[in-house]
Each structure stands twice: as C-alpha cells, then as structure tokens.
Chains A and B, each alone.
Chain A
C-alpha cells in the first residue's frame, strides 16, 4: 500500500486523533496557539456526525464538555494557559463527578496573559490537580505530531477506563510545527462504553446522576478514598522514553518539545564522546517515578531541563530522593529555546 503519510501541524494531529478516537462533541473558545484545533473541528466534526460549538468562554466550553460527557459521549475541549485556568472549576467538578473527557493545553508563556510564545510553565497546574480539592488528572505530554495523534487516542481510552478527565499538554512548538503523520482508521467505539453510568433518560428510582456534591456524613470521605485508589491504579500507566541512558553518566530529564530538542543535543554530545542520555516522561501524571528511581539506583547523575523556571524538577527530585539530586536548567518563558543553549547546559553538567 502506498505511504499514507500526511504533513500536518501538531494541533491538527491532535484534532485528527480525537476524531479518529470517536469524538462526538468538541466545545472550545479561541486562544493562541491552539486555534487550529477548533478550526479543524468546526469543519470535520459535523461531517463525522459530531457536534461542534464555539462557546462564549472557556467556562462555557468546559461545561458543554461536562454535559456531553455525562451522557457517555466522547467529548473534548482545547485551550492554552489562561483558558485552562478558567476551566479549572469544572475540571475539579468532573474529577469529583468521575466524568471522562479530554482537555488539551497547548501551553504558552505566563503567568497571567503572558505571551503567545511557547513555554512549559503549566506543569504544576497540569500535574497537581489544578483546581480545588483532592484530585489528580492523568496528563500526557507528546513530543512529536505522531505522538500527539497517538496520545490523543490513548487519552480517550484512559479517560473512559478510569472515568476521569485526562489532560494532554503540548506547547506552541508542538502545536505549530508541521511533521509527517500516519493516520489510522477511525476506532469503532464499544457501544457499551460508559453504559453503567451514562445519562440517557432513565427515570424512577434507578435514575442516574453525575455529581460532585456529597453532603451526607462520611460520603465525601468515601468518594475521596475511591479517587485515591483510582489514582493508585493509574500509576501502572506511567509512560516514558529512555534514550541512551544505559551507559550514561548524566541523564537529562526533559518532557514534550524540550525533550525532543534535548534529544538532538544528546545525539551530538554522544558523537563527541560524552556519556549522556535522555529520560523523557511521556505521562507527567502518573510521573514515571520508578523508572527514574531505577536509574538513580544505578548511580546516574541528573539534569532536568524545562522551558520554565523549575517545576518538573520537583518530581525528579522526589523520584530520586535519598539516592541522587538533580541539577536544573530552565529556558526562560517567552524566549524560543535554543538547542545550543541546552547543549551548553548539558556539557557544563558533565564537567
């Protein structure tokens, strides 16, 4: 068969992934640098029998997702930093109400309105729950267009397997760059997906509800314990890429676009004889803690590189605690990271 690769932007890859994952509702509000996602959806989702609504705000968008998702439909939204902040109230409600959906954050610089240039400053927000209360959201961080496509599909599966909102975080680099993509045939969704809880018109004593309010004594504690059990089970889904770490003396930890830039730096430095490797967390939550800890056991040193002022480095330090520490190099938000800058930082750490 002929090569069916197409050449698309990261944002389009995400949108195609969602469509091929059986998306039935997309609700969003424009913000740079992710506008290609709603633009794609407005054209192709109705053609595929789904619903597209340009919401009046991110608050409305995520609540439209809540509505559609409560009926067991595959629904998603996408945004960038400031918009994701507005959605946090409802993401918290959906975590509490155990409503599966996918939320895409193509990160830009912050805090506040910041700029529209690329950054990775929303790591804490993405991995610590982001809204109020005791909850977590699984979070996947692709580094290539193909991975963006594949992980969007994986995000829906994870969301429904665990009845939870799942985040997909990229950044302006991933969203805006073009790469070849191999698209798969659309997935046939199991018609029973979500059947035991989805709202569809049951009345009488067996009617269903999706909610996060629990006022009866002891009820909320029960729910919170159940959520924690779920998050423990999700630990089994930790994903990462380990590149030339076996014999490496220094392991660079970096995610998303930064991970990808670091990878070419590692290749170059290897060619010059430096024993360096890359560890790239693909799931930021669950953080691939054990794999990183194993590297620490075998005596590696660590350098965390992020496009922010130091966020994931906390998780790296937690993972290797008692065995090692990690240096940190942060590319400043608002500046496009320069591969030479990373290379120089790795070289310094090797010294």
Chain B
C-alpha cells in the first residue's frame, strides 16, 4: 500500500505541542501566517511582534525573530522596527482585548500613519488568557465573567467592528474580516492573509486582517458548538468580506 502525505508542516511552525485549549483557533491563525511567509520565501526577513493574551507564547510556535510588546502596544513596537528597518517584513499578532481595548490608541494611530506593517487580529469576543472577561468585541447579550447578565449596549456600548473601523482610515491599504470555522472560510482567510501582507510588501499601507476565531473554553462549548457559534452569532454581527483594498499609497 502506498502512502500519500496529505499534510506537511510548514517549516516556520515549530514541531512542539501547543498550550492552546482543544478547539482553539489561534493555532489555525498561526499556521496561516507561517504558510504565507514560508511560501513567499520571506521567513529570513520577517520580524514579528507578539502581544499579550493567549498568543503571548507565539514565539514558541512561529520560528521568526520576535519581540514581545506590552499589552496593546504591538503596533507602536512594529512602527519602531519598520521605520528603522524598512527592508524587513513586520507583523503584529493581537487579540481583541489587546488591540481593541488597551491598545486602541496604538492601532488607530499606526493605521492612520499608514505604517507598512501587517496586523493579524484574532477576534474571539472575549479575553481568553485572563479567564473570559468581556472584550470590546463581546456580542450584545453575551455572558462573560464581567458581564454576567450579558453585555448590554446602554452599559457597555456596542461591540466594535474593527475591520470596518480600520477600513475608514486612509493609511490602511487592506482591511478584511474572515472566519476560521470552516474549510471554505479558512481558504478565504488564506487569501486575505496574502493581501494583508501584500499591502505592506507593495508599500501601499497597513494591511489588516480580522479573524473570527473560537475560544471554546471561555465560551463554555465544545469545538463543534464553537464553530457553529461563529456561523450563527458572530458572522451576522461581524460580516465577512473585504472592506478596503486600496491600490495606491498616500503621498504628502
């Protein structure tokens, strides 16, 4: 019987067991980043900025040079790297608490300046690492450990649609939202990942990709239910699609 290898490890993903919970899609998001950079032969010129959240150990799984930024500040650290090393490929990898809460200032301004960086934004609608507290992206009615009665807009405001907010900023060349809950959606995500890096590589502006991902542990669901939740609850509020794809870069 002959064997067919259906799946190979992309070289920049470490051959180690991860600390993520079963059914967590941080791993899928990691793989998409690595597949693109390996596929393009960019691994040797990539510097990644890790952030605070469940993905804080990103550098254990993705074998690129890495600097760890304090909670929320990754876009500023990436700015410092890129401005002094314009020949490098620089990306940040941030959760929704990191990017849309404590780091809202840094992402807005890096985007507005049109920093030539790529931002990989994992939206799982909760703070994963600290135990499932409310995030700026938590859906209305969603129960978390700090919104036990469910998020209420009059008290906590509306969930923030970051991909759309980013698309409104002139410095952003590409902004899209994709989901990681099905094979079809992952294929779309792969494409969006490519475009988000191309915006940087072609010197057009900041590339932003929002990935709707599971957090089965804090959603108190199994992996299948979590995937279904993305389809039934997240996508209706967070529509998938490309919100911006600007071909030209801004000039003074």
List residues of chain A with CB under 8 Å of any chain B CB.
24-25, 27, 50-51, 53, 55-57, 59-61, 63-71, 73, 75, 89-90, 93, 97, 199-205, 207-213, 215
Contacts and interface: CB of A to CB of B under 8 A. Distances in A.
B46 A203 contact: yes
Contacts of A66: 67, 69, 73, 76-77, 80
Interface in B19-64: 43-47, 49-50, 56-57, 59, 63-64
Given A207-B63, A209-B67, A68 B105 contact: no
10 contacts: A27-B79, A53-B79, A56-B109, A63-B70, A71-B81, A90-B73, A201-B43, A207-B59, A208-B66, A209-B59
B147 interface: no
Contacts of B66: 199, 207-211
B231 interface: no
Interface in B67-102: 67-70, 73, 76-85, 88-89
B70 A25 contact: no
Nearest to B47: A199
A205 B60 CA distance: 10
Contacts of B68: 93, 97, 209-213
Contacts, number: 147
A70 B109 CA distance: 21
A186 B61 CA distance: 42
Question: What band does the interface of chain B fall in when counting residues whose beta carbon is under 8 Å from A?
Answer: 35 or more
B43 A203 contact: yes
Contact of A201 (B44, B49, B69): B44
B179 to A, nearest CB: 28
**What's the dominant secondary structure at chain A's contact region?**
mixed
Contacts of A69: 80
A201 B77 contact: no
B46 A201 contact: yes
A213 B43 CA distance: 24
Contacts of A89: 70
Contact of A208 (B12, B14, B65, B89): B65
B245 interface: no
Contacts of B45: 201
B11 interface: yes
Given A63-B70, A67-B76, A93-B70, A204 B84 contact: no
Given A63-B76, A67-B77, A201-B45, A25 B67 contact: no
Most buried by B among A27, A59, A69, A212: A59
Contact of A202 (B50, B65, B80): B65
B65 A55 contact: no
Nearest to B56: A213
B65 A200 contact: yes
A203 B65 contact: yes
Nearest to B81: A67
Contacts of B12: 203-204
A114 B176 CA distance: 45
Contacts of A203: 11-12, 43-44, 46, 63-65
A67 B78 contact: yes
Given A56-B105, A63-B80, A73-B85, A210 B67 contact: yes
Nearest to A25: B84
Contacts of B203: none
B164 interface: no
Contacts of B57: 213, 215
Nearest to B37: A203
Contacts of A199: 47, 65-67, 81
A202 B105 contact: no
